[in-house]
Amino acid sequence: MRRKLVVIGNGMAGCRAVEELLARAPDGFDIAIFGAEPRVNYNRIMLSPVLAGEKTYEDIVINGRDWYEGNGITLHAGDPIVTVDRAGRTVTTASGHVERYDLLLLATGSSPFILPVPGKDLAGIVTFRDMDDVEMMLAAARTGRHAVVIGGGLLGLEAANGLNLNGMAVTVIHLADTLMERQLDEAAGVLLQKELEGRGVRILTGAHTERYLGDGRVRAVRLKDGTEIPADIVVVAAGIRPNVALARAAGLTVERGIVVDDLMHSSDPAIFAVGECVEHRGVTYGLVAPLWEMCRAFAAGLAAGDTAGYQGSILSTRLKVTGVDVFSAGDFSAGPDKEDIVLRDARRGVYKRLIVSGDRLAGAILYGDARDGAWYFQLLKDGASIADIRDTMIFGQSLAGAAMQPTDAVAALPDDAEICGCNGVSKGVITAAITEHGLTDLAGVRAHTKASGSCGSCTGLVEQLLALSLGEDYEAATGPKPLCPCTDKTHDDVRRLIIAHELRAIPDVMQHLGWTTPDGCAACRPALNYYLLCAWPGVYRDDRQSRFINERAHGNIQKDGTFSVVPRMWGGVTNPRELRAIADVAEEFAIPAVKVTGGQRIDLLGVKKEDLPAVWDRLNAAGMVSGHAYGKALRTVKTCVGSQWCRFGTQDSTSLGIALERMAWGSWMPHKFKMAVSGCPRNCAEATIKDFGVVCVDSGFELHVGGNGGMKVRATDFLARVETETQVLEYAAAFIQLYRETGHYLERTAPWLERLGIAFVKARIVEDAAARQAYRERFLLSQTVMQRDPWQERDTAEFKQLETV
Amino acid sequence: MTTENWIAVCGLDDIPRLGARRVMLSGIPVALFRTGADRLFAIEDRCPHKGGPLSQGIVHGNAVACPLHNWVIDLEAAEARAPDRGCVRRLPVRLEGGTVLLDAGAVLVQAAE
C-alpha cells in the first residue's frame, strides 16, 4: 500500500520537495498538499519583476492545476492546517477537515518581521511576501504618491525599485549604515545607494523608525530623529521569521526554526521539514538555493535511501533590479587567513572584490559587472584550487589563466584603442605625442593630450605607454606627492575630483579614485572627511571614525591619556560668573591643573575621558561652549583692550575680535586657525603672527594673513587696508573660505600662502569684489550648518563606558 | 597554568566599525578593536612607544594609529609597523552571536609571566 504523505505549505519548498520525490518514486506516495493562499504554486522570488511590471502573475506560476491533477495530488488551497495530532497521525484544517498521514512534511515557510512600533496595525502597511502584497502595492501606486519602504536589504530594495517604476516617490528607511550590509561590503553598498538615488529613490541610512502616523490609514512614518516622511503606503521588508507555531504546538523541537537533521527529519521521525521554516546545524535560510538543496536531500533520503543528506549551503545573492548588476557569494568577512583581490573601474562603475583563503576562493562581491558571478560561485562551492589562476581571476573567466605582463596587454592594444575615456584620447595619439614632443613623464602627456587629466583612472595605462615608448629611460613620475600611500592622487586631484564627480562619501571617493586599501589610513581618512565636509556643507555626514581622537572627544589628548577642556571666551573676555563655573567644575572633578593659554583662554588639564560630558554639562549651564582648542578649526581670536581702555587705542579691537569670533567659530579648516585684533600698531595682540590678523590704525584696519608662531615663525603678509568693521568681517570670511577650499589638509596658512603666493590670494580677495562676495557667501552658508556646539552632542557612544570585568 | 575563562564584555554593536572601546579586564586595560571588515582584536591598551591609549586611535585595515605620536600598530602581528619597532600584547577574543568574549584566563597567564 502506498504511504500517505501530507505536505503543509503550498509554496516553493513544499512543491519542490514533492517534485523531487515524484522524480525518484513516481508511484510511491499518496500525496495531499495544504496551502494557506487560495492559489496554485508560484515563484515567490519573481514577485519583484511582477511589481516592476516586467512579468505577470501567469508568468511566474510554477505548477498549474494540471500538475496537481496529473500527478494525483490533492490540493487544499486556502484552507490552512491549524493542528497536528502526532499520536493519532492526523492534521486538521481551519474548516475542520481532518486528514490522516503516514509521513508529514512541514514547509510552512517564514513570515515578514513586523516592527513592533506604534501604529503597526494601520491600513496601508504591507509586507512584500505574496501576490496579495503586490496587488496592494500596485493599487496604492494608482491612487497615492508617496511610498516608504522599511528595510534596505534585497527585498526592500526590489520593492522600492518596483514602486519607483510605478511612479511613486519612494523613501527607503534603513537601520544599518549601508544598504544590503549582509551581502555587500561598504564600498559596494555605497555604489548601490548612489545608483538607486540616481533613479530617484530617496535613501535614509542609519535611520530608526519610531512610529507610524495616521488615523485608520497610514499617513506618514516618523523617525527617531523626528523626521516625518509622508506615506500612502508602507512596505515593511525588515527581515523574516520562520513560521514555527504549528510545529511548536505539536511539541517538535524548535529553536529559531524547526530543528532538522541532514535528512530533514524533525524530532519526530514521521515528520520532516524543509525550507525557510527549518533550522539546520544552527542556521536558518531566507534564500531559494538552500531550499532546492534541502528538497533534494529530503527526497533522496526518503525515496532512494540516500543518506548523504543536506550539508548546509554556501549562499549567493543577486539583486533583481533591472540595470543594476549586483552579486554576492560566500563569506566576505576578513580573517587572519583571508586576502582580498580588488578591482575598481570607476568609469565603468565596476567594483569587484574576491576574498581568498589559502588556495581557495572564500567569497565574492561583484558590482556593476556580475557576468562572472556564476563562475566564481562554482569555484567557491567546489572549493577548487585557484593557485594557477589567482593572478588573473579578478578579470573573469575568459581572461583567467592567460597570464600576461601588465605591459603586454597595453602593447597588444590597437592604435585606435581608447585609453582616456573622459577626454577621448586613443593609444595612437598618446604614443605619437610622446615621440613628437619628447615627453618623458605623466605631466607632459597630460599637458599635450589631456589623457589621464580628468578622472585619472587611466593613469596606470598612460604610465605603461610611457614605459613601452621610452623603455629604460622612463622612470615613474616624480611630480607632486600623493596624498598618502593609499593613492597616487594628490591633495589637489582629490579635492577637484570630489566636486567634479560629486563624490559624497569616503568609500565613494576611494572607489572612484582607485584607493589601494579597503578603508584608507590614518592620514587620508581625516583628510577625506574634511574635504567632503568642506565640499558639501549640510549634505555630507561627518564620519566620526575618520576623525582624530581630539575631534571625537572634543578635547586635547594629553600624554597620560587624559584630556584638556577649554571653554570658548569670546575675544578673550570673561566675567565672574564664567570664572566661578570654571572654578566649580575644576573642584568638582578634581581637575589637577588650570592654566591660562597663549590664546587668552583657560585650560582645564587632566580631565578623565569619562568625565568630559559632565564637565561640559556644567560649563554649558554657565553659558559657555567648546573652544575648539583641540581641532583643525577656528581656535581663538586674541585681542587687546583697544580704544575702550587703552590710551593708545585707535579702534574698539575687543568688540571687533568678538565679532570675528562669533562669525567664524565652529568652522572646520585644513588646520588650526588663529586670529588676533590689535588696537594700534604697537600690536599687543601679536596679530602679525596669526593666520588672519587685524591691526587697527586711525584711518581704519590693516589686514595681515598667513603668519604663525610654531616651529618655523612666519610673519604675515599684508593683504589690504579697509575702512570699516563690516569690511574686516567680509574680508575675513572670504579669506577663510579661500583657505578652506584650497588648503591641503594639515597645511597651515603659512605654507599654504608660500605655495600659492600672496598674489593668488589678493587676486581673489582684494582685486575681485565679486569673487570676494562669492567666497564670503559660501563661508556663511557653510557656517549655518557648522556652528553647533560639539559639547551638546553628549549622548554619543564615544563616552559610553564598558563595564569593568 | 590556568584554563580558558571566556567572559562576555560587550555586544559587537557597542564597538563602532573602524573604532574601538576600552575595557578593564582583571585590572588590565584592554582595547577592543573592530575593523571595517568586522574583525575583532583585543590588545593591551598601551602603545609600546610611550604608553599611549591605542583604543583612542584611528583604525584602518588591520591596524591602529596611536593617538599620541602616530605609531602604527599592526593588530594582526601585534607589533609596530616599520620604521618603528615594538610589540603589544594580543589577547584571545571571539564573537558569539552578537556578544564579544575575552579570555580572562589568558590575561592572568600573561600577567603572571
- Per-residue pLDDT tens digits for B25-37: 888 899 999 999 8
Whether the pLDDT of residue A476 is over 60: the answer is: no
Residue A401 has pLDDT above 50, yes or no: no
Cα A636 from Cα A661, distance rounded (Å) = 7
Q: What is the mean predicted confidence (pLDDT) over A162-184? A: 91
Residue B63 has pLDDT above 90, yes or no: yes
Phi, psi of A751 (to 5 degrees): -65, -30
Other C-beta atoms within 10 Å of A421: how many?
Answer: 15
Task: Check for a shared fold between A3-111+242-304 and A125-238.
Answer: yes
A125-238 CATH fold: FAD/NAD(P)-binding domain (3.50.50)
Query: Around Cβ A447, how many Cβ atoms within 10 Å?
Result: 13
Kindly report the average pLDDT of chain A as a whole number.
Answer: 88
pLDDT at A96 over 50: yes
- Which residue in A has a C-alpha nearest to residue B8's C-alpha? A805
Q: CB contact, 8 Å: B59 with chain A?
A: yes
Which pLDDT score is estimated for B113? 47
| Contacts A550 to B, Cβ<8 Å | 67
Interface probe, candidates A342, A554, A802, chain B, greatest B C-beta count within 10 A? A802
The answer, yes or no, to whether residue B1 has pLDDT greater than 70, is: no
**Nearest-CB residue to A548 (from B7, B9, B67):** B67
Q: What are phi and psi of A143, to 5 degrees?
A: -110, -30
Inter-chain touch B60–A521, beta carbons under 8 Å: yes
Instruction: Give me the residue spans of the domains in chain A.
Output: 3-111+242-304, 125-238, 325-395, 406-473, 491-546, 549-630, 634-786
User: Alpha carbon of A567 to those of A67, A445, A612, A798, B108: distances in Å?
Assistant: 78, 53, 12, 20, 43
Q: Which bin fits A279, alpha (ψ -120 to 50), beta or left (φ > 0)?
A: beta
* Yes or no, beta carbons of B61 and A519 under 8 Å apart: yes
| Adjacency order of strands within the sheet including B63-65 | B58-60, B63-65, B72-74, B79-80
When scoring A483, A519, A746, A801 by the number of chain B Cβ atoms within 10 A, the one with the most, hence best to mutate, is A519
Measured CA to CA, the distance from residue A220 to residue A787 in angstroms comes to 31
C-beta atoms of B36 and A549 within 8 A:
no
The per-residue pLDDT for A165 is 86
pLDDT digits (tens, 9 = 90+) for A303-351: 888 888 998 888 888 777 767 888 898 887 767 788 888 888 877 788 9
Strand, helix or coil at A140?
Answer: helix
A790, A791, A796, A795: which is closest to A618 by C-alpha?
A791
Q: Kindly report which listed range (A30-44, A717-731, A773-787) carries the lowest average pLDDT score.
A: A30-44
Overall average pLDDT of the A258-279 stretch: 95
The confidence score (pLDDT) of residue B62 equals 93
**What is the mean predicted confidence (pLDDT) over B53-77?**
93
Calculate mean pLDDT across residues A683-712. Answer: 93
Domain positions in chain B are: 6-102
Under an 8 A CB cutoff, do A546 and B104 touch? Answer: no
Three-state secondary-structure class, residue A263:
coil
CATH code of domain A325-395: 3.30.390.30
- The mean per-residue pLDDT over the stretch A790-801 comes to 69
End-to-end CA distance of chain B: 10
pLDDT of residue A477: 45
CATH code, A3-111+242-304? 3.50.50.60
CA distance B76 to chain A (A): 7
The CATH number of the structural domain formed by A549-630 is 3.90.480.10
- Nearest beta carbon to residue B19 from set A545, A559, A561: A545
User: Could B56 and A803 be called an inter-chain contact, meaning their C-beta atoms sit closer than 8 Å?
Assistant: no
How many residues comprise chain B? 113
Alpha-helix runs per DSSP H in A403-505: 406-412, 427-437, 442-449, 459-470, 491-500
Question: pLDDT tens digit string along A345-370?
Answer: 877 788 999 999 889 999 999 998 87
Cβ-defined contact of B104 to A805 (cutoff 8 Å): yes
For residue B111, pLDDT over 70 is answered with: no
Instruction: Tell me what the mean pLDDT of segment A712-721 comes to.
Output: 91
- The DSSP secondary-structure symbol of A43 reads -
Q: Are A289 and A316 in contact (CB under 8 A)?
A: yes
Contacts of A548 in chain B (CB under 8 A): 58, 67
3.40.50.1370, 2.60.34.10, 3.30.413.10, 1.10.510.10: CATH of A634-786: 3.30.413.10
Inter-chain contact A185–B10, Cβ cutoff 8 Å?
Answer: no
> Are B53 and A561 within 8 A, CB to CB?
yes
Beta strands at B79-80 and B72-74: parallel, antiparallel or unpaired: antiparallel
Within an 8 Å CB–CB cutoff, is residue B54 touching chain A?
no
Any chain A CB within 8 A of the CB of B14?
Answer: yes
Contact present, A152 and A190 (Cβ < 8 Å): no
pTM of this structure: 0.55
**B65 in contact with chain A, both atoms CB, cutoff 8 A:** yes
Residue A453 confidence (pLDDT)? 63
Q: What is the pLDDT of residue A436?
A: 85
* Position A572 pLDDT exceeds 90: yes
- The grid coordinates listed for A570 are 569670546
CB contact under 8 A, A521 and B104: no
Mean pLDDT of chain B: 87
| A335–B39 C-beta distance less than 8 A | yes
Fold of B6-102: Rieske Iron-sulfur Protein (2.102.10)
Q: Averaged over A638-665, what is the pLDDT?
A: 93
The CA-CA-CA angle for residues A19, A25, A26, to 5°, reads 70
Mean pLDDT computed over A164-189: 90
Distance from CA of A772 to the nearest CA of B (A): 37
**More confident: A371 or A666:** A666
Would you say residue A704 has pLDDT above 80? yes
- CB contact (8 A) between residue A805 and residue B59: no
* φ/ψ (deg, to 5) at A798: -50, -40
Mean pLDDT of B71-100: 89
User: What pLDDT score was predicted for residue A671?
Assistant: 96
* Cβ contact A545–B72 (<8 Å): no
The mean per-residue pLDDT over the stretch A536-543 comes to 91
The beta-carbon neighbor of A797 closest among B16, B25, B63 is B16
Query: What percent of chain A is modeled with pLDDT above 70?
Result: 94
For residue A157, with 0-12 CB atoms within 10 Å meaning exposed, 13-18 middle and 19 or more buried, which class applies?
buried
